[in-house]
Structure 1
Amino acid sequence: TMLPRRKFSILGLHALARKDIKFQEAIKLHYVWRDYVRESLGLRPGDSILDICHKGYDPINKLLAKTDLHGAKIEVIESKCETLKGMIGVVLLDTKNTFKLVGMDDRIRTVPKADSVFCIYVGNVEIVFYGKSIMTRPAER
């Protein structure tokens, strides 16, 4: 049987402990995520993403759109909220409309995907994307 969303939230199963998660602990999750992405994209350390004109770019782009982002190291490049610009953090929770990131200052922040531009770091590879392009539930990707 499935647990209804109301009971799910009452039990606090979708909430993160704001004080207990540190950036140094989350970066370990990022290392696991980085290995997962490298394996799924076929990247080796030191590799770079293909140029957008290359014929192999489209399959990589499709794989990236389906990638689970829990554990990704993300920088907020543009946002309507000025205080979020330039923030770098590790994704702890990816919902349809937001990311919950733990920043280098050990604070957890909720970052809206709409009207934001992000940069994902996979080793030396930087991938820039618009938040509205991934505004789906992670399970539906």
Structure 2
Amino acid sequence: MTTPKKEPIARELLSRAHSPSTADQLFTERIKQKPLYLRPTSPTPDDNRTRRRLHRLRKKEYFLRKQKPRPLSAREKRSSGIYDLPKDECKYAVFKELHAMWVGYMQEVLDLKIRARDDVHITPSSHGSKLVSADFHGAMLEVVRSRCAGRVGVRGIVVRDTKFTFVVVTEKDEVKTIPKEQTIFRFYVPFPEQEEKDPVAQDDGGKSKELVFELHGSQFENRPVDRANKKFKWRNVDYL
């Protein structure tokens, strides 16, 4: 004895709302012949873990791409050798061009190119802030006073200006590191029309053809990048 074939529930529901012909047509076109799309398999826990890891990596990559590059640490800078000065390249003749560029730079800082020689008046209030914020790479410095008598008279072009020292190259192609503490340096800035003449020569009036400055190293223990934006205060200087 065979059991009667049960009518699909969808046809029964359609017959309640539509006529028999409309119900048959809707069942055939909308339900019976409509393809059913199935996912082949569900993802395993390992697949879910991999998908989450890739999502984190993409998110991190996007975040890092929007960030500024991280500056090198002091240890990374030392290991990369950016502070090393090759001995075969530390020649006085090589850095003379750097000194010439520095002279032009200081003439612009002190407004020597836009003023007549007789109208130049350098005072601490007018140019003091510019001098302490200037860059001294390429300056010709001479040690005039120091607690170490062996450093007095050392003269050379600055090739590195650190927080506590000046590294200079002398005329004998020697690289010397001079501490700033308890040391007074002297440097000269010639007038634009007198650059090619003798720096220690005197004109007819007995006046020097260069501007002479003295720099107290103990008050100058700052990096060039820090001096550019730092506000300096007047302080009493204890002479050596």
TM-score by shorter chain over 0.5: yes
Q: Which amino acid aligns with 1:62?
A: S
Q: Which amino acid aligns with 1:50?
A: H
Question: Which piece of structure 1 moves more, 106-115 or 130-139?
Answer: 130-139
* 8 A contact 1:98–1:113 mirrored in 2: yes
* 8 A contact 1:75–1:88 mirrored in 2: yes
Q: What TM-score do the two structures reach when normalised by structure 1?
A: 0.89
Change (3 A) 1:19 1:80: farther
Q: What TM-score do the two structures reach when normalised by structure 2?
A: 0.54
2-structure distance, mates of 1:100, 1:47: 32
2:215 to 103, 126, 129: 129
- Aligned identity (percent) is 30
Q: Which amino acid aligns with 1:18?
A: K
Higher-RCO chain (CA-CA 8 Å, sequence separation at least 6): 1
Question: Which piece of structure 1 moves more, 125-134 or 17-26?
Answer: 17-26
Cα offset, 1:25, TM superposition: 1.3
How many residues align? The count is 137
Alignment of 1:1-141 (within 5 A): 1-44=70-113, 47=117, 50=121, 52=123, 57-123=124-190, 124-141=210-227
SS of corresponding position for 1:62: helix
Superposed CA deviations along residues 90-137 of structure 1, whole A, max 9, x for unmatched, are 000000000000011110100000010000111211101210111111
Structure 1: which 5+ residue stretches go unaligned?
Answer: none
SS of corresponding position for 1:111: strand
2-structure distance, mates of 1:47, 1:125: 11
Change (3 A) 1:46 1:69: farther
2-structure distance, mates of 1:11, 1:79: 34
Structure 2: which 5+ residue stretches go unaligned?
Answer: 1-69, 191-209, 228-240
Higher strand fraction (1 or 2):
1
Q: Choose 1 or 2 for highest CA Rg.
A: 2
CA RMSD of aligned residues (A): 1.9
Q: Which amino acid aligns with 2:188?
A: Y
1-structure distance, mates of 2:74, 2:95: 27
